[in-house]
Structure 1
Amino acid sequence: MTVVYYMQVAFLDISIELINVLKKHVQLHVLIELTPHGKNLTVLEIDKFPEKKTLVTPEEILTKRCYESLKPYFTGTASVHFVIHPHRTGFSYSTLQASFDTWKYIRQFKPDILHFETFGLRTIGMLFYLKAFKNVCITIHDPVPHTGEDSWKVTLPRTFMFGIPGKKKYMFYSQFAKQQFEEHYKKQKQHKTVLQMSPYGFLKNMVKSDSEVQKKHILFFGRLSPYKGIDDLLKAMPAVFNEFPNEQLIIAGKTVHDFNIDEELIKKYKNNITLLDKHIPNEELAELIQRSKFIVCPYKDATQSGVLMTAFGFNTPVIATNVGAFPEFINENVNGLLVPPNDPEKLAEGMCFALRNDHYKVLAQNINSTRAEDLWNRNTEILLHAYAS
């Protein structure tokens, strides 16, 4: 079976885990959509953004250390290319040209499956050519846009992609996402499959064994966006510092969607709170996670979470709000804690509970990331069955 796996670069962290196991079973051609804005998103580090080229190989574009870290995941695939979209806007003449060049490249393989790992405005350019495919799979990460992130740039691609004639199959990474999709898109009766999101191992490979690493701080990481509940986190911290005056909180990630963080409170607790408002390089992020006592995810809404799976990859517990698919993956007071959303007081209570008598260490002992590859292999079995159905 020949599969073309087309993804947006923002989801490379989860995609490489799937690529790593799927490549063992099919002829896998990987295409990664890349824009000037996305050149330093997730796990990528770009050496130089190419000009006047649509398809480039990883070794042509990645920094040496990034290429070496991703090479084990890409080795064994039939091919891996980045699809270069030079224009910053989501839809332009260059988008159509890149889509045409990509189509010419794809059709030579005569693939059995074209699998989109989500989609955006730039993916619309591919619609002109999809009539030739009998089997199109689409992974839906967020059936409903997060708070503060809804716009025509999100809804327009959905209108087009869901309207593709022919046989489509939808993939989800949680039961919650599947249910949410079914509630909001009742007319979409096509085949639906849930792949159970499992721990990510990529960043863990960048650090040494953590058996003797000192846990130093509480960590929030990821993009700083309205739905992430950072305002609730900051409101909760005074109560935490009142009981644990030497505790440290690090907030690491780049501000998006014009999100405004409470800098006055951060200044008030400048000895306890560190804000890293920037793209965090892989090695730095890996060390931040490795040295964290626990990760906090105070989200106002969610589907599933790559942050959660990255934390579990480090055997690090997570305190999260009881929203989205978090209850599917967090067993209360086993591998983490669940608290109500939009409730700084309960959030503070949860963090203090984890800190008292180093209870976070007990939670960490209940996380077993060593079975991650087995879990991803199971996902591959489910995916192959969906491809063939």
Structure 2
Amino acid sequence: MTVVYYTSTYFLDISLEIINVLKKQVDLHVFIEVTSASKKVNIVNIEHLPVEKKLVEPSVLLSAQSYRQLEPYFTGTASTHFVIHPHRSGLSFSTLQASIAVWKYMKPFKPAIIHFEGYTLRTVGMLPFLFSFKKAFLAVHDPVPHSGEKSWKIGLPNLLFFNLPYKKHFLFYSRFSRDLFVKHYPRIKEQKLLVPMCPFSYYKGLGSGDEIESEPGAILFFGRISLYKGIEVLLQAMPAVIEQFPRQKLIIAGKATEGYAFKELIPDEYKKNILIYNRYIPNEELINLIKKAKFIVCPYLDATQSGVLMTAFALNKTVIASDVGSFPEFIINNVNGLLVEPGSVASLSAKIIKALSNHFYKTLEKNVVSANTENCWEKSLENLLEAYHH
């Protein structure tokens, strides 16, 4: 069976896990959408996008180091290409040109299935070709936009991908996400598959934890900084923590989304305890920060599933997270992590203090380690592979 897997650099961490499983079961052609805005996100760090080509092989586009790290995942696929979108606009003539280039490349292989790992305005260019496939699978990451992120740029792809009459199946990485989709789109009757998310193994092979200087024993928040991530709640919670643990540091590492400027609500006497890296964090630096941290904190105001959680678990770090979205599906309170009341400064500071007291976070961490299994993704994707064949 020939399958086209279409993803983007935004989802490359989860995509690598899926590619690693699917390539052993089907003839897999991989296409990775990259734009001027997404060339330095998630796992990839691409310096320049060629303007004259629409499809570029990883060995040509990536740096030597980046290619060495990603090559084991791409080896064994039928083909892997980056789909180049140099135009800043999501809807443009070059968008259509890129989609046509993808179709021309894949058409001779007569693929039966196309599998989208999320979708964007640029992915809309693929819609005319969907009717040529026996089945289309659509992974829905956020059925409803997060706080502060509602936009027609999200609404239009949702409208088109959800409602056009092609043979589609929907895919979700948490029960919460699937239930949210059913609630908001009750008229959509197509199959809704559940593929529980697992830790991201890619990060396990990166860094020894000694390459880059970082603050040892810090509390760490990492990832894209947006309104729904609850940064301001975290900053307000830290004074109570620092009062009890005066030497404790907090690191916030990640680039703020365009248009979002979080308020630094820390009194001057506590600012020496807070380090903020508002920028793109390269892979090796990120791994170093995680490995040296005591634990990870996710004070989100709302959420679906979390790649941050799966990255932390992959590196055997416990997580304090808000009791929202799918966090309760993966975090067992007081076993492998701690859950806090969303938006509550008092609840968050109390749970951070609890984790620090008598090094309780180390007990939680042991349970994260014991729960990690090598074949988690193989088991999780069994439902998907069965749906491919039936």
Q: 2:126 corresponds to which residue?
A: 126
1:214 shift after superposition:
9.5
Give the match's secondary structure for 2:358. helix
Q: 1:299 corresponds to which residue?
A: 300
Q: 1:105 corresponds to which residue?
A: 105
Matched, 1:376 2:377: yes
Q: 1:80 corresponds to which residue?
A: 80
Q: Which runs of 5+ in 2 are unaligned?
A: none
Q: 1:208 corresponds to which residue?
A: 208
Q: 2:144 corresponds to which residue?
A: 144
Letter in 1 for 2:270: Y
1:379 shift after superposition:
2.0
Q: 2:114 corresponds to which residue?
A: 114
Asked if structure 2 preserves the Cα contact closer than 8 Å seen for 1:198 and 1:372, the reply is: no
Asked if structure 2 preserves the Cα contact closer than 8 Å seen for 1:223 and 1:256, the reply is: yes
Give the match's secondary structure for 2:147. coil
Q: 1:365 corresponds to which residue?
A: 366
How many angstroms apart in 2 are the aligned matches of 1:179 and 1:381? 21
Q: 2:341 corresponds to which residue?
A: 340
Alpha-carbon RMSD: 1.6
Letter in 2 for 1:207: G
Q: 2:12 corresponds to which residue?
A: 12
Q: Deviations over 1:246-276 (max 9, x none)?
A: 0000000001042222235275423100000
Asked if structure 1 preserves the Cα contact closer than 8 Å seen for 2:235 and 2:264, the reply is: no
How many angstroms apart in 2 are the aligned matches of 1:178 and 1:313? 24
How many angstroms apart in 1 are the aligned matches of 2:123 and 2:312? 30
How many angstroms apart in 1 are the aligned matches of 2:96 and 2:316? 44
State percent identity of aligned pairs.
52
Letter in 1 for 2:88: R
Give the match's secondary structure for 1:269. helix
Letter in 2 for 1:60: V
Q: How many residue pairs get matched?
A: 387
Change (3 A) 1:30 1:157: same
Q: 1:34 corresponds to which residue?
A: 34
Q: Deviations over 1:143-179 (max 9, x none)?
A: 0000000100000011111122132100000000000
Q: Deviations over 1:167-225 (max 9, x none)?
A: 21000000000000000011110011110100112122112389xx9951000001110
Q: 1:386 corresponds to which residue?
A: 387
Asked if structure 1 preserves the Cα contact closer than 8 Å seen for 2:46 and 2:62, the reply is: yes
Asked if structure 2 preserves the Cα contact closer than 8 Å seen for 1:7 and 1:32, the reply is: yes
Q: 2:180 corresponds to which residue?
A: 180
Give the match's secondary structure for 2:368. coil
Letter in 1 for 2:347: K
1:372 shift after superposition:
3.9
Moved more, 378-387 or 249-258: 378-387
Moved more, 40-49 or 134-143: 40-49
Asked if structure 1 preserves the Cα contact closer than 8 Å seen for 2:24 and 2:76, the reply is: yes
How many angstroms apart in 2 are the aligned matches of 1:115 and 1:300? 30
Q: 1:21 corresponds to which residue?
A: 21
Asked if structure 2 preserves the Cα contact closer than 8 Å seen for 1:315 and 1:369, the reply is: no
Matched, 1:222 2:223: yes
With the length of structure 1 as denominator, give the TM-score of the two structures.
0.97
Q: Which runs of 5+ in 1 are unaligned?
A: none
Letter in 1 for 2:318: P
How many angstroms apart in 2 are the aligned matches of 1:110 and 1:368? 43
Change (3 A) 1:235 1:264: closer
Q: Please give the residue correspondences for 1:175-324 in structure 2 after superposition, counting only pairs within 5 Å.
A: 175-208=175-208, 215-263=216-264, 265=266, 268-324=269-325
Matched, 1:351 2:352: yes
Runs of 4+ in 1 over 6 A off after TM superposition: none
Q: Please give the residue correspondences for 1:164-175 in structure 2 after superposition, counting only pairs within 5 Å.
A: 164-175=164-175
Give the match's secondary structure for 2:287. helix
Give the match's secondary structure for 1:270. helix
Asked if structure 2 preserves the Cα contact closer than 8 Å seen for 1:28 and 1:77, the reply is: yes
How many angstroms apart in 1 are the aligned matches of 2:209 and 2:260? 36
Give the match's secondary structure for 2:25. coil
Give the match's secondary structure for 2:375. helix
How many angstroms apart in 2 are the aligned matches of 1:52 and 1:81? 15
1:368 shift after superposition:
2.8
1:39 shift after superposition:
0.3
How many angstroms apart in 2 are the aligned matches of 1:342 and 1:380? 34
Letter in 2 for 1:105: Y
1:64 shift after superposition:
1.1
Give the match's secondary structure for 1:6. strand
Asked if structure 2 preserves the Cα contact closer than 8 Å seen for 1:33 and 1:85, the reply is: yes
